Structure 1
Amino acid sequence: MEMLPNDLLRHKSECENLKRICVIGAGAGGLAALKVISDTAYFKSGKWSVIAYEARTNVGGIWRPAPPVADSYNVPLTPLYDSLTTNLPHPVMAYTSYSFPPETPLFPRAHVVQTYLESYALHFNLMPFIRFSTTVLDARWESTKWIVTLSDGERLTYDHLVVANGHYHIPRIPDVPGLADWVKHDKAFHSVWYRKPDFLGDKVLIVGGGPSGQDIAAEMCTVTSVVVHAFSNPGAEPKSVNTGNLIRRGRAIEFRANGQVIFDDGILEDNIDRCILATGFQMHLPFLEGSSMINKNMPPEIPPLIPSELFNSTYHVFPLEKHLFPLQTQYPVSSVAFMGLMMMVAPLPLMEAQAHAIVRAFADPGSLDPITEAADIIARAEKIRRAGASTPLDTAKAWFRFDKDEQWSYRDELYEFAQDVESGTPPIKVTEWEKECCDLTVEMRSAWERLEKSGEAGEWLRDVGKNGVQDWVDLMHRVMDYAGNPHN
């Protein structure tokens, strides 16, 4: 049926008023953004549209496995090693809107998390909003729109970007004297290439005290005569390591050509055959760098002034309002959001909260208050400096590392901010059991590993989760009681 002139004008007006949103990445953050956006009245009424571009062939991001490539010049798509289990109990790490299936092991293997994310995407019908095997090569603000160039050569315009491409891809190699030569001669390699414990020599050095560094050190103890584990706090006990061939050392400060490494306490270890660097990853936003939408340098120290452009120091993206929205002058602050940059947090529920805040800012740009946010940024910088950061680099490294309670207050603040526009969405507060269980994760994980080794875990899991979240809360309390019983 042919449109009448008035219908044509109305259709043109509706197209012009349509808010088009581009999500970069379909890992945990991108999926949260798609779910929350597609739930809104704006989307359901046809006022908003959303699409995610995912470089790989399925959802999942870091949780979707990829084999290590054969050479050190091409980085694997994910650093996922074969034995990886979550370092948080899944009731704490799950989206608030979608639990793991009943009887899921409390600390699931990576493939279980991948299946969970696939199930989440199917349950909320997100797959139609994802274009797979498509990389965003370039995104630049021109006049009033983001111009996005895709890997197939297509160029499209969007009103908003949600950047959810993750930050566990480009390995960070520390600038330590002699280390570059070790890497060049394949005597040292980053953990992004690690998949399982193989014999690499009689004496192996693991650098890095994070979860992957501790896991890899424990695994290498099963195949190597001596494992030296170097990290900044050697007084901390590695997780579940109870072997006689592990040596803990402080920070490595010099690598010598003869297999010797010197540590910050002056101790020298010799005859080291190989080194695995579990030293983290760089924040990587190549689609913004080519168009000068972001400055890949260390930002100037503040106060007195907040810079007028956005910076990627590779340790942090700065400055961001609410750790999401770029406080700069090249493009509207509310036109783009950066998801999931925090570390040492429960990421999925946090990114879900961020998605709700993003909807608020996209719908109502005036809800962002640059003056208040700038003051908050300056206050955070001063807090980090009081905690011991003496250089801009120290500040950058600490920027997204939330202390014990910050992630909980941050989540609550995001939901409070989102409530003003998202009518009908009940306020979501972080529960006390989340805080308690997160604080006791190390003890809980150790106890759960003992239950799995003893063969009792299956019985503990029987029917748990069939009656809702409280089942999981009760199980975690039982496991914590088990952990505190010296006779177990």
Structure 2
Amino acid sequence: MPEPQVDPRPVAVIGAGPSGLASLKNLSDLNIPCVAYESHSGVGGIWDIRNPRSSVYQNTHTITSREVTGYADLPMDRGLPAYPRHDQVHGYLQQYAERFNLLPLIRFGSDVTQVERLTDGWRVTTADGHSAEHRALIIANGHNWHPHMPAFSGKFDGEILHSRDYTSAAALAGKRVLVVGAGNSGCDIAVEAAGVTDHVAISMRRGYYFFPKFIFGNPADQVSESSQNLRLPAPVARAAYRTMLKLSIGTPDQFGLPKPDHEPLESPPIVNSLLPYYCAHGRVKVRKAPVRFDGKFVEFSDGTSEEFDTIIMATGFRIHIPFVGEEHLDWNKGRPDFYLLAFSPRYDDLFIAGMTDGTGGHFPTVELQSRVIASYLAARERDPEAARRFDERKRRRDVDITGGIKFLDSPRNLTQFELLTYLRVLRDHLSLLGGRDTTYAQRPSLLEQAAALFSGGRK
């Protein structure tokens, strides 16, 4: 048999945030030449508050716990808080890049302005005039940095800013503040604002389930993951979640919050027990969706109106990939319609890493996802038969990553999946490629974590 031809061109990774770093590490593990293009001067993506595209503010903490947040290849230091602050996460990402010698693989200050399709591969051009050919392209520029700003009729004479441009509550002291949007950032900002001013309202289009950060004194997400691993029937699981929430935090309507119009897990949970507390004390008022501005007055969908000085749009982000032509990305309902949220249906050398929003930690999820991408690229040169089997599954597109959950038809759910289902599917595809899930081999099972949690220990 002739030796397979090895393409000497490196794989291009666009972005050196959590997804780009995981991609570089997994490519390097398989001896695949690679280079990352990063517009900022350092690693970390949105977790580096100095990055112009960062969406974190001074008091941002993770909504997943330390054990769930970290990469399996490098668990977070147990000396960190249970829910680390943004600068601690950034320091951890810097440590990860140094530990696995990823920094020499990154071109910093290289803002990608154009990606062109070649007959075989891609040409990447940056703002400083650098241009190079690559055998494959992994887009890892993140999806929580390009603000979604809804339009309203009328004109507001006060200050309007998106949550991405919010830094701290100090500038809100004494002002009348309206937060539009009740995602995790919106609820955090409303609570912070209530600490510096007496006039705070939050606008909510629908009700949501509020999850505490701790249950029985332990991080709630670890208890949640452990319960999901039991694979309870959907009706039983939903009933268990409702009971757990009612016992730990109560029901939203008890605090003057709207009743959810969906089941638990059908939309991302709000990990915040302080907003219900502040609403119950009258520190944060709940308002309907805004429909019109008139000077400093905001008219809401129920016909009421109220005067404000500052409006903070916590209205989320759009998936934004400006350097690749839309004709290459198979856009559908606001996101590229990629297989497993990662593999282009059109090209065998185009991928997206980290376009994911599950119920668990993002870092270990993209760690496994990028391991599958790297294994596929390796198989294309070293095991064409395995790559062919993978391609057949990709063409069939018969994989369900929802775990039977009917996610709400909402922009917040564009990249949702059921965590354990998605991880199982990724492992199946990794096995198909002859790869081994070494990144997760050292991690205790969720049932082991649960046993440790309920016995008062830690693993």
TM-score by length of 1: 0.70
Q: Counterparts of 2:18 and 2:454 in 1: how far apart (Å)?
A: 24
Matched residue SS, 1:281: coil
Structure 1 partner of 2:307: 271
2:196 alignment partner in structure 1: 223
Return the offset for 1:152: 1.9
State the Cα distance separating 1:399 from its structure 2 match.
Answer: 3.0
Cα deviation, residue 16, structure 1: 5.9
Counterpart Cα distance in 1 of 2:412 and 2:439: 32
CA displacement, residues 219-249 of structure 1 (integer Å, 9 cap, x when unaligned): 0001111110112213378532434343443
- Between the aligned partners of 1:138 and 1:109, the Cα distance in structure 2 is 34
- The 3 A distance-change label for structure 1 pair 230 and 137 is same
Amino acid at match of 2:61: T
Provide closer, same or farther for how the CA distance between residues 370 and 323 of structure 1 changes in structure 2, counting only shifts above 3 A: farther
Letter matched to residue 351 of structure 2: A
Hey, what does 1:366 align to over in structure 2? Answer: 388
How many Å separate the matches in 1 of 2:435 and 2:306?
64
Q: Which runs of 5+ in 2 are unaligned?
A: 208-256, 260-269, 380-386
SS in 1 for 2:101: coil
2:37 maps to what in 1? 53
Deviation at 1:269, TM superposition (A): 3.6
Shift of 1:90: 1.1
Relative distance call for 1:261 and 1:103 in structure 2 (3 A) is same
1:255 partner amino acid: R
Q: Which amino acid aligns with 2:116?
A: R
1:230–1:250 CA contact under 8 A, matched in 2: yes
CA radius of gyration, larger in: 1
**TM superposition shift of 1:420:** 3.6
SS in 2 for 1:257: strand
Q: CA deviation at 1:407?
A: 1.5
| Paired residue type of 1:217 | A
User: Aligned-pair distance for 1:141?
Assistant: 1.2
- The correspondence for 2:336, drawn from 291, 312, 317, is 317
SS of the aligned residue for 2:351 comes to strand
Alpha-carbon displacement from aligned partner over 1:345-401 (angstroms, at most 9, x marks no partner): 421000001111102222334243456655437x789x78x6664xxxx5x653312
Alignment of 1:283-432 (within 5 A): 283-289=319-325, 292-294=327-329, 310-311=330-331, 313=333, 315-318=334-337, 320-328=338-346, 332=347, 334-345=348-359, 346-364=361-379, 365-369=387-391, 374-376=396-398, 389=409, 394=410, 398-402=413-417, 406-423=418-435, 425-426=437-438, 428=440
The equivalent of 1:465 in structure 2 is none
Q: 1:89 aligns with which of 44, 48, 65?
A: 65
Query: Per-residue CA shift, 1:156-213, capped at 9, x if unaligned?
Result: 11111111001122210123434xx33xx55321111101002365421111111111
SS in 1 for 2:323: helix
User: Counterpart of 1:28?
Assistant: 18
- 8 Å Cα contact 1:225/1:245 also seen in 2: no
The answer to whether the Cα contact below 8 Å between 1:140 and 1:293 also exists between their aligned partners in 2 is no
User: Which ranges of structure 1 fall in alignment gaps of 5 or more residues?
Assistant: 1-9, 68-75, 295-309, 438-472, 481-488
Q: Which amino acid aligns with 1:212?
A: S
The corresponding residue for 1:139 is 115
Identify the residue that residue 433 of structure 1 maps to in structure 2: 446
For residues 405-430 of structure 1, the C-alpha deviation after alignment (integer angstroms, 9 at most, x for no partner) is: x1221112212211344556548478
Deviations 1:31-80 (A, max 9, x none): 1011111111xx1xxxx31111111111100111128xxxxxxxx42121
| % same residue | 26
Q: Is the 8 A contact 1:81 1:194 kept in 2?
A: yes
Q: Which stretch shows the higher mean deviation, 157-166 or 410-419?
A: 410-419
Q: What amino acid maps onto 1:235 in structure 2?
A: P
Judged with a 3 Å threshold, the aligned counterparts in structure 2 of structure 1 residues 113 and 434 are, in CA distance, closer, same or farther, namely: farther
* CA distance in 2 between partners of 1:23 and 1:227 (Å): 43
Partner of residue 252, structure 2: none
Does the 8 Å CA contact 1:360/1:367 hold for their aligned counterparts? no
- Mapped partners of 2:46, 2:447: distance in 1: 24
SS in structure 1 of the partner of residue 13 of structure 2: strand
- Using the size of structure 2 for normalisation, the TM-score is 0.75
Cα shift at 1:321: 1.0
